[in-house]
Amino acid sequence: DQSHHDLMPSINSLAISPDGTKLFSGSLDGTIKMWDLPKLIPELITTLDQSHHDLMPSINSLAISP
């Protein structure tokens, strides 16, 4: 089992969904993680991996539109 500390190295940016149920984190390693917030301990829902892009491997900002 991995803890949420292991899954979130070098976070550059955070965004919360308008309804407050999801947290998105963007990291230096080129990943965007989506977390489910209504639970006592946030649960990782999915990871989008952008690290294969040579020009922009890190995620520096996130924005959510309703």
pLDDT at 14: 92
pLDDT at 22: 93
pLDDT at 1: 44
Q: How far apart are CA 2 and CA 60, in angstroms?
A: 24
Instruction: Tell me how far CA of residue 26 lies from CA of 16, 44, 45, in angstroms.
Output: 12, 13, 14
pLDDT at 34: 92
pLDDT at 39: 78
- The residues of the chain scoring below 70 in pLDDT are 1-9, 50-56
pLDDT at 5: 53
pLDDT at 55: 60
